[in-house]
């Protein structure tokens, strides 16, 4: 199979889908890998490293897409790339279709077969290709949230850190999955008092066994309990994820009026539409905005801030799936591996994933079960 790896074009997206070592393992499996020139230069992966690994260089994205059977990316294509997509091409990347219905429809209309990293599953119910980025985003949420609490960046002007004879600052984490758990760890490490809010009592009980009772409170999720928690918080992190679906809005606009001005809210769920009603996508160039004097950080590619770390983490898990798709052929690989098939989001102009379908059918003019085979 011919596998193409184009440069990422999203704002400040310097992660790469394949490292030279990943290319080497794929080429050794009998496949051809084409890399766009200067693909990984921003994080130190040079063209000659890819050539030595067995890749062929292609100058333009147009030529690379046209000559490939499968495209491997990190982030979903932007509208300028849609013209390169076609119905006999497979796209393997983070797609997050539920978070952007307008562009999702345009992507679906290209007819491309879209397999999304974030909905591939494993036997234990986890998301093996989403987890590495969730891990990073959860840690970054505390870092960027703390940074934007500084007064010059519209925050309260408080420090989440170790201060002798002072009460710790309060961080609320809503959603205690992979990302949320990493936020808890990072916040506790920085001497914060952490309020953990989740809709699963069993998850809260599990976390209590892990973290104990010092500087942490476990709260079952209701609108009132969320309101009470965020009113007392300096930093609020939302990391709610429902596979394939738009994130539920756990903080509504009216709830902001009771919060303290300068509180920072970090929406890790923004790729899935955001879990705060007032969230809207932002970029690393312009990461925040104010709503009711509350700082909102809603960058849609948070791990892109640490592209080398994120690339290394991603490439520990994706190559085996890429080789499975290439070795068996797309349809056979999906038919033989139900967990990989759960990654199938779109095919032949139709929505294939039930969660994505549910999220988008109220927004799009059409939907179909035609890709369920």
- Active-site residue numbers? 96, 271
Pairing of β 350-351 and β 344-347 = antiparallel
The first and second tokens of residue 283, run together, are 């970029």
Q: Which residues fall within 8 angstroms of residue 37, CB to CB, at 6 or more apart?
A: 47, 57, 58, 59
Determine the Cα angle at 88 with ends 67 and 373, to 5°: 150
CA distances for 346 relative to 91, 278, 368, angstroms: 10, 29, 10
Which residue, chain included where needed, has tokens 């809603």? 298
- The CA distance from 228 to 247, in Å, is 21
Q: Which residues fall within 8 angstroms of residue 40, CB to CB, at 6 or more apart?
A: 16, 19, 20, 46, 49, 50, 311
End-to-end CA distance of the chain: 22
- The CA distance from 157 to 289, in Å, is 16
Q: Which residues fall within 8 angstroms of residue 222, CB to CB, at 6 or more apart?
A: none
- The CA distance from 56 to 350, in Å, is 33
Handedness of CA 34, 35, 36, 37 (dihedral sign): negative
């Amino acid at each position: 199979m011919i596998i193409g790896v184009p440069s990422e074009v999203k704002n400040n997206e310097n992660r790469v889908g394949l490292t030279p070592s990943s290319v080497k393992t794929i080429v050794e499996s009998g496949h051809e890998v084409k890399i766009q020139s200067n693909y990984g230069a921003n994080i130190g992966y040079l063209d000659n490293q890819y050539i030595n690994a067995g890749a062929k260089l292609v100058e333009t994205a147009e030529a690379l897409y046209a000559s490939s059977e499968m495209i491997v990316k990190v982030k979903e294509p932007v509208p300028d790339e849609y013209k390169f997509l076609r119905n006999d091409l497979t796209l393997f990347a983070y797609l997050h279709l539920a978070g952007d219905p307008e562009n999702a429809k345009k992507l679906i209309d290209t007819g491309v077969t879209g397999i999304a990293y974030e909905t591939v599953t494993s036997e234990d119910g986890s998301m093996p290709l989403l987890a590495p980025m969730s891990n990073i985003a959860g840690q970054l949420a505390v870092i960027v949230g703390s940074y934007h609490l500084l007064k010059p960046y519209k925050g309260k002007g408080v420090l989440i850190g170790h201060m002798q004879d002072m009460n710790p600052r309060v961080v609320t984490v809503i959603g205690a999955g992979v990302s949320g758990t990493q936020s808890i760890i990072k916040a506790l490490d920085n001497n914060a008092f952490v309020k953990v809010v989740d809709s699963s009592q069993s998850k809260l009980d599990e976390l209590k066994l892990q973290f104990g009772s010092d500087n942490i409170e476990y709260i079952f999720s209701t609108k009132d309990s969320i309101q009470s928690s965020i009113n007392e918080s300096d930093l609020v992190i939302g990391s709610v994820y429902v596979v394939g679906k738009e994130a539920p809005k756990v903080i509504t606009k009216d709830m902001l009026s009771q919060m303290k001005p300068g509180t920072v809210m970090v929406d890790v769920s923004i790729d899935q539409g955001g879990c705060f009603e007032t969230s809207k996508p932002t970029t690393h160039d312009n990461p925040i905005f104010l709503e009711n004097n509350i700082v909102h950080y809603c960058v849609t590619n948070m791990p892109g801030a640490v592209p080398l770390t994120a690339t290394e983490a991603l490439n520990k898990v994706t190559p085996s799936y890429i080789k499975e798709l290439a070795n068996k052929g797309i349809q056979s690989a999906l038919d033989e591996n139900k967990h990989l098939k759960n990654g199938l989001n779109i095919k032949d102009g139709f929505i294939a994933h039930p969660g994505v379908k549910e999220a988008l059918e109220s927004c799009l003019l059409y939907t179909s079960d035609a890709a369920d085979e």
